[in-house]
């Protein structure tokens, strides 16, 4: 049987989301559903199993919107709040599926989770807290339970190490400013890429448009999508007008079949 991979964009927005609270700009006031961006995250389906990369503050809303009934594991890119804040809500899957949730993360993310969700790691936990198994990963391929082999791709979010992930001919990398030359080799043969691109102007810890397009040119995927998009980048239609034909802004709910 051929293994089937499907990607669903759960959120394509930056740490504040779009619209931004109290903002009156034309992007935040847009009526286009593609300009409503929750915090960055994706779900990928491998055969009949669901996996999520990052549980941000909107995790619960994203799971309800996509009617996700089963979740096999969660992978984390890094420890910032907009990527881990929703971890507590995995307990809904604990209740439904009668099993611990498998989390895959670095030691740095482990420290953040134990700090933010200390109650889930106590020796005698309060009834009803998330039940999780922590799987510590390093910069080498690892196997997901009932899922694919995943290859981490190391990048830097300013000076913070972050992981992107490659699964077969798909790669996802958010919250990154620089990618070492050796790590770029891991993109060889990638056909679909989802890549961080905050805005047009340079930023200290994120790729901006020119830098993102340079990486896309080097990777040379068949299709590329931009994510972690700020309201300062423009509306979906405005962003599209600035991109080459094979690059598009991602949007919440986008589905990609590979």
pTM over 0.75: yes
pLDDT at 202: 98
Backbone torsions φ then ψ of 115, nearest 5 degrees: -75, -50
pLDDT tens digits for 74-84? 999 999 999 99
Residues of the chain short of pLDDT 70, as ranges, are 1-2
**Alpha-carbon distances of 210 from 170, 182, 194, 238, rounded to whole Å:** 22, 21, 15, 16
Q: 154 near 184, Cβ under 8 Å?
A: no
pLDDT at 3: 83
Q: How far is Cα 216 from Cα 214, in angstroms, rounded to an integer?
A: 5
Q: How far is Cα 218 from Cα 79, in angstroms, rounded to an integer?
A: 28
Give me the domains of the chain, ranges plus CATH numbers. Answer: 5-248 (3.60.15.10)
Instruction: Name the H helices within the chain.
Output: 59-65, 81-84, 91-97, 107-116, 181-184, 209-219, 236-240
């Amino acid at each position: 049987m051929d293994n089937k991979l499907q990607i669903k964009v759960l959120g394509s927005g930056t740490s504040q989301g779009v619209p931004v609270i109290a903002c009156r700009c034309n992007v935040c006031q847009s009526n286009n559903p593609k300009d409503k961006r929750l915090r960055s995250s994706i779900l990928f389906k491998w055969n009949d199993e669901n996996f999520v990369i990052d549980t941000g503050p909107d995790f619960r809303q994203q799971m309800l919107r996509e009617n996700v009934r089963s979740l096999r594991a969660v992978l984390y890119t890094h420890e910032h709040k907009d990527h881990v804040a929703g971890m507590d809500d995995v307990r809904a899957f604990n209740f439904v599926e009668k099993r611990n949730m498998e989390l895959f993360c670095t030691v740095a993310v482990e420290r953040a989770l134990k700090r933010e969700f200390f109650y889930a790691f106590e020796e005698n936990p309060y009834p009803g807290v998330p039940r999780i198994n922590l799987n510590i990963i390093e910069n080498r391929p690892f196997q997901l339970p009932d899922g694919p082999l995943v290859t981490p791709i190391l990048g830097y979010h300013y000076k913070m190490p972050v992981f992107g992930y490659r699964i077969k001919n798909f790669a996802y990398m958010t919250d990154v400013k620089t990618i070492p030359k050796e790590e770029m080799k891991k993109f060889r043969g990638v056909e679909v890429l989802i890549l961080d691109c905050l805005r047009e102007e340079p930023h200290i810890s994120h790729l901006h448009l020119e830098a993102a397009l340079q990486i896309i040119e080097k990777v040379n995927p068949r299709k590329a999508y931009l994510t972690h998009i700020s309201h300062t980048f423009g509306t979906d239609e405005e962003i599209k007008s600035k991109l080459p034909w094979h690059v598009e802004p991602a949007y919440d709910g986008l589905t990609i079949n590979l």
